[in-house]
Each structure stands twice: as structure tokens, then as C-alpha cells.
Structure 1
Amino acid sequence: MRQAMQKSYSGDEFGVVLEIIRNHRANALVSVNVEHMLTNWEIGGYLSAKIKHEGWGKSTIDNLVDYIHTRAPSERGYGRSNLYSMVAVYDEFTSPDFTALVARYGNRIVQPLAGQFEGKVIQPVTGQIADLPDLQPRAAQIIPMPDVLALTTFTNIVEILNRTRTAHERLFYIVYAFRERLKKMELRRCLVNDTYSSLLGGDKKNFSKALVASYPDSPVLFRDSAFVDFLNLPEKHSEKRLRRGIVSNMKDFILSIGKDFLFVGEEFPVKVGGTEFNIDLLFFHRRLQCLVAFELKARNFKPSDMGQLEFYLEALDRDVKMVNENPSVGVLLCKNADRSVVEYALSRSMSPAMVAEYKRLMIPKDVLQETYDRYIGMGESKGGAQ
């Protein structure tokens, strides 16, 4: 009888309890981060005013460090270097350039994105800081913290500040770190490899029309250059060495192409007729809900390469793709690619495909603004990262 009663309860009913636990845990993590950011922001604002108007210097800051350690020995993170970082963060993110960007993009970023955390709905950060009187800056001259800073950690904010030069870059990396849930070392790699330029730059002529039509967000989800410096490849190397190096360093490779990629397999077999063919690397893209085939070429791009890639996509869509999944995407990853040749090769392609290079490619900053606007505003229509 007791066993029969237990079977009457559904997993969905029990799942409600687990959902409550997860949602409140997410809220707690966000609240802790907001409090930590506000603490450092207020300290930075207070010290900034003292340094600028009352002549506080290195010796005074050292005395402050000793004072904190003596009276609150359990407190950590308030050494001289960290205190100066708080001042630098406060000064930079109250600058006219950054303030103007926040005025332009702030609501578009914080409102759609801050209500998402690991896929669980939480209370938005925006408004909380201003609405809670006990969180208000204690000194009248301290400017309130922009809500957007609470989207990532203070450690990430300092990393961004130290490795970028413009307000546009800083706002981009704050949003990028939030959307991709980057930790410090992951973010540092993105900063060193200039993800800002790689992800946003150019007119994306290396994307087929079918790819952009099927997946409008693909220009900001798929990078046109992958950074594989971690493979230590010699100038002359084989596709086999390239493939094995990627598989052996899969975490770094996925970080270089985008965190929504899930690795499926190496030399993935597809059988057509009586012949078996092998796809170099096969991934699944979580956000786009589709298979992504990578074909590797340790040489310059050739137009004939597209025929092979499109053949693989057809095989995947016919025989591998699940009914609920979207059409497969192909990425031709090569050593070098002449942009004109790529554009011609893709101009009549009916497959969602692109050509990318596995080397660093610097892109002029003056071509970034239009795509920047689109990237920052992605959460407005999509509801943030899924």
C-alpha cells in the first residue's frame, strides 16, 4: 500500500523542491557578488577622493592596510595592491566615456541578462542597488556603482581594466564574461587573444548566406579565427597533428571558438552508399541546437574544400541529425584564407557554412561599431544567453 502511494507522486512534483533550492542558491551567489562589488566600489570611491583631494599617498595606504589587518585580522583581500585596484576601478567606471556607454546600453544589458543565472530565473540586479538604503554609498561624493558591473566578479573587472584600452572594449568584455560565464583565466585568454576584434570585426564575408539566414546570430557566435598557440605547431605540420593537438587540448580549443560547443567526436564516421567517410571534428552547439562539423586543412583554403564540407553536412542532416535538431553547420578551419577566394566560394553555397583561420587576425577597430551594437543588444530580443 505504501509503495503504491509513493508511485502516485510524479517527478515533476518532487522537481519543484529541487528547483526552489537551485533558484535560491543562484540568488545567494548573485547577492554575495553584488555585496562584494559594492564594498570594493565604496572603498575605491572613498580612497579616490582622499588621494585626489587630501594627498593620501603610498605611506598612508600602507598605514590603512596595517590598520585593517590589526583590527580585523580575519578580513582578506585588502592589501595595498587590491586597494589601488579598487581606486582604479572606481575612477575608470565613473569616467565620461564609460558613463556615456552605460547611458546608451545600460538597460539593454542589465534588464534582459541579469534575470538569468545558469538558466534559472532570479531577481534582476538592476534597481536593487538604488532601492536598498543600507547599500547606498556612505560618502556623499561617491558616485553610485553602475549596475552592469555586478554582472561579473570584481576579479574579472580588474582583469578587464588592466588589459583593455577603451570603454567599448571594457563594456564588451563585461557582457561577454557574463554570457559565457568566464572565470579569471578563461577571461584572460580571451583578452590576450583579442576576442573583441575577432568576434565583432569585419563584414563576415566568410559566412555563407545560408548560414546567416538560418542562424542570424552566427556572426557573433562563430569566430572567424581560432587561436591555437597552445598547440605549439611548427610552421610545417600535418592535419593529423593539428587534429590530435586540438583533441588533446579540447578545453582550450573550445574556449577559442566559443563556450557553447560540446565535443561529439574525432574522425566521426558517416557512411554513404558502401563508403565510410570521416569528419575531422564534430561538435554540438547548445544555443543553436545543431551539429557543427569542423573540417581541418593545414594549408591555404581552396574552393574545392567547400564541396567536401557540404557533402558532410548533407550526410549529417540525412543520417545523424535528430528530428528536433536544426540543420547542421560546417566550419572549414584552414591555415590561411584569401578573403576574395572565400567570398566567391561561398557566394552560391546553399549550405550553412563558413571558413575560419587558425591564426590571429587583427581587425581595424573602426569596423566594429555596428556589430558591437548588435552584440550588446542580443539580450533585448533573445532574453539573454540561453
Structure 2
Amino acid sequence: MDNRFTDIIQLIKQSRANAIRAVNAELINLYWNIGEHVSIKLEKSEWGDSVVTELAKHIQQNEPDIKGFSDKNIWRMKQFYETYKDFPKLSPLVRELSWTHNMLIFSRCKTFDEREFYLKLVKQENYSKRELDRQISASLFERTMIGNTKLSPVLREFNRDLTNNFRDSYVFEFLSLTEPHSENELQSGLVRQMKNFILELGKDFLFIGQEYKLQVTAIFLLTFFFIIVDYNVWLF
């Protein structure tokens, strides 16, 4: 690639990303406003529940080019608005996430703190829908809060962000282990998953065995050590 044009390519990519964010924010604003309108109409008894179905049919019949406004989705917009209307602190956050991410969070999280936790987490870690769903199912919020309580109140007050860097719990639900399980069962489960992963990579990769002795040089060991150290630093 010609390095002379790197800056221009970067400007194009940045502008494209900014445009996508702007479109997403406008879409979330639209869903918020629709949810607010429907909520107020129902609260004042100006509309009955059946009117939402009539609205969805009206859009489908008279505006066929407008997609995504079924009665089910309109009810979700109402739920979205009612979930956050009393929490202006979260309003800027929801506009930075996609509608899919927002639906997962407001429909599955029960408290303000939990919703705020996942909103910030998705923004920081750029989670996909699948990863967000997995983290919620694995009770990441609850486990993080439990881990934070093990620190002294003085330390938690000293740096609130510091508490989330100390975690001593891990989720291995993908191993399908029974509870409780032994260390050997955990090891076997991890090795089994690694084996399946390596074999799925194709014929260019080989799984020799669970415990196989290798004769390596000191240079290899030193390099491997630095890789592990760097990986651990990245984890924290």
C-alpha cells in the first residue's frame, strides 16, 4: 500500500464511522420519541392497546417502504422510553449503542446500576450482540459486584474504577461442567475445548496429545515466557 495516501484513507474511514454513529443516534432518537408518544397516549387513555396494532397495520399498508414498525417493535419502543425516562444520566449512553444492544440491556437488566454497567461496558469493549448476551447470561454484573465487595471500603473509595480491575471469578459455562467440579475436570474440559478448536482449523494444524513432552531450547522458553507475561498484562 502506498504510504502517501494513508492519511486520506484514515480521514475517509473516520468520516464514515462518524456518519454511522450519527445515523444510529438519530434512529435511537426516533424510537425514543415514538415510545414517548405511545406511552403518553396510553397513559392518558386516549389510546387503547389495540390502537398500537392498528398503527402498525397503518404503517405497513400506507407506507410499505418503512420497515421495522410492527406492533411488537412499537411496544419495545414504549418499553425503551419508560425504562430510561426517569434516568437522564443514561440518555447519552443509549444513543451511542445500536438498537439491538439497547434491546438486550433494557429487556434483560432489572436495575439502574445493572443497565448502566452494561451500557458502559459495551461502549468501552465494543461488544457484539452475541458477546453482550453471553456476558449478561453469565451474570458478569453480579460477579463483578461480588468481587468488589471483597476490597476494603477505603480502597473502593480511593479509586472507584480500580475495583473493576480486581476479579477473581471466571466463567466456564462453555465447558458444560457439573457443579461442583474438580480441578482435574476443569483442566480436562479446557484441553477438550482447545483440541476441538485446533482440529477445526484444518489440516495445517495438529493436536498431538493432552500431555506431550517437548524438548525446546532456552531461547524458545524465554520467548514463550515473555508472551505469557505480555498476555497477562493485557488481561488486566
Q: TM-score range by the shorter chain?
A: 0.7 to 0.9
Aligned to 2:14, what secondary structure does the other structure show? helix
Distance 1:248 1:56, change over 3 A: farther
Equivalent residue runs for 1:297-308 within 5 Å: none
Q: Hey, what does 2:53 align to over in structure 1?
A: 62
For residue 97 of structure 2, the aligned residue among 128, 143, 152 is 152
1:229 is aligned to: 173
State TM-score, norm by structure 1.
0.47
- SS of the residue corresponding to residue 224 of structure 1 reads coil
Letter in 2 for 1:152: L
Q: Which has the bigger relative contact order, CA under 8 A and spacing at least 6? A: 1
SS at match of 1:151: coil
Superposed CA RMSD: 3.7
Instruction: For 1:1-386, list aligned pairs within 5 A.
Output: 11=3, 13-95=4-86, 98-99=87-88, 102=89, 146-203=91-148, 220-221=164-165, 223-234=167-178, 235=181, 238=185, 240-247=187-194, 320-321=225-226, 329=232
Percent identity between the aligned chains? Answer: 24
State the SS of the aligned residue for 2:117.
helix
Aligned length: 210
Unaligned residue ranges in structure 1 (runs of 5+): 1-8, 107-145, 207-215, 251-265, 278-314, 331-352, 355-386
Structure (1 or 2) with the greater helix fraction:
2
More strand by share: 1
Secondary structure, counterpart of 1:160 in structure 2: helix
Structure 1 residues 182 and 57: CA distance shift in structure 2, 3 A: farther
Q: Give yes or no for contact 1:199–1:223 (8 Å, CA) kept in 2.
A: yes
Alpha-carbon shift at residue 27 of structure 1 (Å): 0.8
TM-score, normalised relative to structure 2: 0.73
What's the offset of the Cα at 1:178?
Answer: 1.2
What is the rounded CA distance, in whole Å, between the counterparts of 2:124 and 2:215 in structure 1? 34
